[in-house]
Amino acid sequence: PLIRLEEYRPSDYLIDRVDLDIRLDPHAARIDATLALRPNPAGVAGAPLNLDGDDLRLVSAALDGAPLSPDAYTVSPAGLSLLTPPRQPFSLRLVTEIDPTANTKLMGLYRSNGVYCTQCEADGFRRITYFLDRPDVMAVYTTRIEADRTEAPVLLGNGNRIEAGPVGADRHFAVWHDPHPKPAYLFALVGGRLGKVETQFTTAEGRAVTCAVYVEPGKESRADYALDAVIRSMQWDETAFGRAYDLDVFNVVAVSDFNMGAMENKGLNIFNDKYVLASPETATDGDYAAIEAIIAHEYFHNWSGNRVTCRDWFQLCLKEGLTVFRDQEFSSDMRSRPVHRIAEVRSLRARQFPEDAGPLRHPVRPRAYAEINNFYTATVYDKGAEIVRMLRTLIGAPAFRAGMDRYFADNDGRAATVEDFLAAFTAVTGRDLTDFARWYERPGTPRLSVTGRYDPQAARYTLRLAQSLPGEGGQDGAPLVIPVALGLVGSAGPLEAATSAQVREGVFVLDRSEAEIVFGGVTEEPVPSVLRDFSAPVRLDLALTDAQRMRLLAQDSDPFNRWQAAQDVALRLILKPDAGRMEAFAEALGRFLDGEALADPAFAALVLALPSEGEAADALPADVDPDAIHQARVALRADLGRSLRPRLERIDAALAPVPGAPYSPDAASAGRRALRNAALDLIAAGDPAAGAAWAAERLAGATNMTDRLAALATLALIPGETREAALADFAARYADEPLVLDKWFAIQAQIPEAGTLERITRLQDHPAFTLTNPNRVRALIGSFAFGNPTQFARPDGAGFACVARTVAALDPTNPQVAARLLTAFGSWRRLEKSRSAKAAEMLNGIKAIRGLSRDTADILARTLEGG
């Protein structure tokens, strides 16, 4: 059954206060909930009260203090209905019992590594007690948590702790009160043996906040970086958005079994420990960057998500797209803005573009869903963030900031919609955003076609822009509003004298299906630099020669388009190899490296990173043969490695770390490591024998996980004894470090060789591997399905079968993770015929399984039916 946006209606009842008394127990946790309810004036008077429930055992029910008579309500494992509720405010007391240890779905209250924790978004609270589990029902929560003192010395809840003490000899309790009304999806509690690091932060409003990060005892030192990121996030949200924290405590807890990355529960963010724990010995530069970004993301939700929440789940992008935009801005301020922008776009193209081009495509604001947990997608998050970014580009940074202030002011304490968001910007700018709002409604990635024409006599340059987005029935719908940042580049750099009245502050707004821009004062034939900074999430068709692109790489003022120019040349060389063009490309890269590699190593590392196999596949119209793409890319890398060898060796030498210098995760140091490791990787691509020896040596001398893992990844592509020995050594060294073993699983799962499937079968029997831990599943099977195109799509279907088996095995215990894994089949129709036939076979095999979860059945149905 589909839930539809247009069928939204307000709840018939509201809940003002929730008083919870929760007694933690491994198998029989008891939840005593008292709900202060009242009829919603906006609802249907006298309607039955239908509370959501999922997998609950009802112990008792009372209305206004008196036990409910059996004919006053109906109860099922899926809900509790009060048939004729009072017409005035009333209280309902419900006692339920649940088994946290048996909760393998990791939704609701469960135990991870012996620690009690919760995950309630999107609809997990109903697995704790019967409730109006929808985001527009907001209540003030007071939570008493009681537990065994040895089992759970730490008891955490939302808000501030107002009371705590012993209960008899063995047990104790804590009471937490959250004064801010919130939807049930933001409820959380934690109970367990945990170590912590903590510090104080004083807000701009003068509030003293105790910030703490809780982790497995013994790993406290690995939480320092996350705690520091909390403080920087609080500081930044005050300066960048004027948003201050609003409670006396802010807690972050790391747990090892978690379906997603992290969760923004009010005052009590719960994290996948992968995004908290970091030490130089166990985490890479990439891990540090991800921790910083996700800590910030969850913290920023305190305003964009919690203070202003969503009316219904169709509005998910309202909090997620906006919060991703906010965390991207934070990371850009903490690191290199251009480098971060390139990283954002790489991830958008790797994850969102294929989604938007396949059967799982959906609007940023979906119109209907069968299972909301399947809509926490790259489209909602990352394309959602791009929409916010475009809005800022359109109205300018000052108006954007004013609009954000207005949005927070007008909607504080409310459950809002995308329309409310846009209305705030209309209010401060007077601008009608109805046309712009089409970005939220239209699935698919628009195409932007651009051609240029130079008239030397008139010193004029004309750009013609046209947009297209085939919708239902193949017809183009109404045009989108596309901000196109652009400029012209001459032989010696940007043509500052070339101007057009249609271009304001470097941006042309394309709001029709086509338009022409005329530049005057153009004294030489320029190269157009279009879609600077990736100003809109579109596919750009702009036919330039390699030489023109190399001019952009050398001369453009926009770092994004400099990088993009090199990517475009490389992509064309992968799709259509050509020795002469390859040589010219290598020369241009060589000049680039000589000129400035050492001035901005992080940027240079990105220029050297060729488009992925997935990106190449995405660029083809159909009939994708992953082996052909793989071979072409390997050949190009080998050529480049050989041509650039002397330069790469110079870079390697120049960036060698000073012996004994301590590791620092800062962006500049990370950039130097990235370039040096990219150089090694390219050298190895050109000369595998020398590369293997070199990588093995680097591995032996590595003093941090970034360099160690990079060397191992390079070595992993070179078959032989050296590789196997290095892998064995790595496993032995980190036998007690699950998060590091995940890296080891992932590297092996991505080896593009026929033997990988057997290796995976062996690894599934490794003592550290288990289907019950989502990180392990994602590391081994997820890396294979999403990161090994040739072996996942083996022509014999064995790769598909391996993933299908895992989906089937996991579905009964953890449907969310199973469904997510199944999305790896999303591009199956674009594969060449024999492979797509095998994929269809596997998908139909899963379809035949009885009792599939709604999560998996939904992904499956959409994957099979969508064109």
Stretch that binds ligand ARG, among 17-25, 206-214, 260-268, 686-694 (CB under 6 A): 260-268
Residue span binding ligand ARG (CB under 6 A) among the ranges 64-72, 256-264, 612-620, 801-809? 256-264
Q: Which stretch binds ligand ARG (CB under 6 A): 52-60, 258-266, 566-574, 742-750?
A: 258-266
Cα–Cα distance, 352 to 16 (Å, whole number):
39
Query: Is residue 416 helix, strand or coil?
Result: strand
Q: From the list Zn ion, ligand ARG, none, which binds 263 (C-beta under 5 to 8 Å, kind-based)?
A: ligand ARG
Q: Do the beta carbons of residue 95 and residue 59 sit within 8 Å?
A: yes
Helix%, strand%, coil% for the chain, nearest 5: 45, 20, 30
Per DSSP, the three-state class of 230 is helix
Nearer to ligand ARG, 122 or 156 (CB): 122
Please name the helix (run of DSSP H) or strand (run of DSSP E) that holds residue 516, with its range, or none: strand 514-519
Contact of residue 613 among ligand ARG, Zn ion, none (CB under 5-8 Å per partner type):
none
Task: State yes or no: residue 356 binds ligand ARG (CB under 6 A).
Answer: no
Closer by beta carbon to ligand ARG, 188 or else 842: 188
Strands 482-490 and 460-468: unpaired
Partner from Zn ion, ligand ARG, none binding residue 122, C-beta < 5-8 Å depending on class:
ligand ARG
855 lines the binding site for ligand ARG (CB under 6 A) = no
End-to-end Cα spacing for the chain = 21
Tokens of 188: 């959380």
Q: Which helix (H) or strand (E) holds 156?
A: strand 154-157
Out of 287, 320, 613, 639, point to the residue binding ligand ARG (CB under 6 A). Answer: 320
| Two structure tokens written together for 222 | 């690995």
Angle at CA of residue 570, ends 564 and 575, nearest 5°: 125
Binding at 515: pick from ligand ARG, Zn ion, none (beta carbon under 5-8 Å per type): none
Residue 429 CB, nearest distance to ligand ARG (Å)?
29
Distance CA 6, CA 774 (A): 35
Q: Which of 216, 298, 344, 386 is catalytic?
A: 298
Shorter beta-carbon distance to ligand ARG: residue 294 or 404: 294
Least distance between Zn ion and beta carbon 377 (Å): 12
Q: Which is nearer to Zn ion, 121 or 618 (CB)?
A: 121
Residue 262 binding result from ligand ARG, Zn ion, none, given CB thresholds of 5 to 8 Å by partner type: ligand ARG
Residue 260 Cβ, how far from ligand ARG at the closest point, in Å?
4
Helix axes 384-395, 397-411, angle to 10 degrees: 120
Q: Which does 635 bind (CB under 5 to 8 A by kind): Zn ion, ligand ARG, none?
A: none
Residue number, nearest CB to ligand ARG: 376
Judged by CB, which is closer to Zn ion: 273, or 320? 320
**Helices 667-686 and 285-300 meet at what angle, rounded to 10?**
130
Q: Does 560 bind ligand ARG (CB under 6 A)?
A: no
| Between 109 and 710, CB nearer to ligand ARG | 109
Using alpha carbons, select from 375, 515, 148, 327 the residue that is nearest to residue 859: 375
Active site residue 298: yes
| CB 606 to ligand ARG: min, Å | 26
Which DSSP category does 278 fall into?
-
CB of 146 to ligand ARG, least distance (A): 27
Environment class of 663 (CB within 10 Å of its CB; exposed 0-12, middle 13-18, buried 19+): middle
644 binds, among Zn ion, ligand ARG, none (CB under 5 to 8 A by kind): none
* Residue 327 CB, nearest approach to Zn ion (Å): 8
Compute how many other C-beta atoms are within 10 angstroms of the C-beta atom of residue 416: 22
Query: Is 178:267 a contact under the CB 8 Å cutoff?
Result: yes
Buried b / exposed e across 451-472, counting CB within 10 Å, b at 16+? Answer: ebebeeeeebbbbebbbbbeee
* Binding of ligand ARG by 298 (CB under 6 A): yes
- 195-202 and 189-192 strand pairing: unpaired
Rounded CA-CA distance 142/145 in Å is: 10
Q: Give the integer Cα–Cα distance in Å for 536 and 321.
A: 14
Q: Which residues sit opposite 15 in a β-bridge?
A: 37
Q: Residue 229 touches which of ligand ARG, Zn ion, none (CB < 5 to 8 A by kind)?
A: none
- Per the CB < 8 A criterion, the answer to whether 381 and 324 are in contact is yes
Where does this chain bind Zn ion (CB under 5 A)? 320, 323
For residue 82, the cross-strand partners are 49, 73
Stretch that binds ligand ARG, among 84-92, 151-159, 262-270, 567-575 (CB under 6 A): 262-270
Shortest CB 50 distance to ligand ARG, Å: 22
- By CB under 6 A, the residues from 372 to 401 that bind ligand ARG are 373, 376
- Told to check if 118 binds ligand ARG by CB under 6 A, we report no
Q: How far is the CB of 316 from ligand ARG (least distance, A)?
A: 9
From candidates 12, 19, 54, 121, binder to ligand ARG by CB under 6 A: 121
Structure tokens at 72: 């006053």
Residue 258, contacted partner among ligand ARG, Zn ion, none, CB below 5-8 A by kind: none
Q: Which is nearer to ligand ARG, 330 or 694 (CB)?
A: 330
**Which structure tokens are listed for 748?**
């092996």
174 binds, among ligand ARG, Zn ion, none (CB under 5 to 8 A by kind): none
Give the C-alpha separation, 144 to 167, whole Å: 12
Q: Answer yes or no: are the C-beta atoms of 669 and 676 closer than 8 Å.
A: no
Give the pairing type, strands 482-490 and 507-510. Answer: antiparallel
- Taking the C-alpha atoms of residue 705 and residue 690, their distance in angstroms, rounded to an integer, is 22
Among 260, 509, 634, 798, binds ligand ARG (CB under 6 A): 260
Closer Cβ to ligand ARG, 603 or 786, answer by number = 786
- The item of Zn ion, ligand ARG, none sharing an interface with residue 292, based on CB under 5 to 8 Å by kind, is none
Tokens of 714: 């390079």
The helix/strand/coil state of 73 is: strand
- What CA–CA distance (Å, rounded) separates 178 from 19? 11
Least distance (Å) from ligand ARG to the CB of residue 347?
15
433 binds, among ligand ARG, Zn ion, none (CB under 5 to 8 A by kind): none
Binding-site size for ligand ARG (CB under 6 A) equals 11
Q: Which stretch binds ligand ARG (CB under 6 A): 261-269, 521-529, 719-727, 758-766?
A: 261-269
Q: Candidates 262, 277, 334, 428: give the one binding ligand ARG (CB under 6 A).
A: 262
- Find the shortest distance in angstroms from Cβ 105 to ligand ARG: 10
Say how far apart CA 523 and CA 497 lie, in whole Å.
Answer: 9
* Binding test (CB under 6 A) with ligand ARG, winner from 25, 54, 257, 264: 264
CA distance 479 to 815: 39
Cβ proximity to Zn ion: between 269 and 567 the closer is 269
**Strand 507-510 relative to strand 262-263: parallel, antiparallel, unpaired?**
unpaired
Closer to Zn ion by CB, 132 or 186: give it: 186
Q: Which residues contact 820 (CB under 8 A, 6 or more apart)?
A: 782
Cβ proximity to ligand ARG, 254 vs 674, nearer residue? 254
Q: What Rg, from alpha-carbon coordinates, does the chain have?
A: 28
Among 122, 605, 727, 843, binds ligand ARG (CB under 6 A): 122
Shorter beta-carbon distance to ligand ARG: residue 118 or 417? 118
Least distance from ligand ARG to the Cβ atom of residue 256, Å: 17
Q: Which residues make up the interface to ligand ARG (CB under 6 A)?
A: 121-122, 260, 262-264, 297-298, 320, 373, 376
Question: Which residues does the annotation mark as catalytic?
Answer: 298
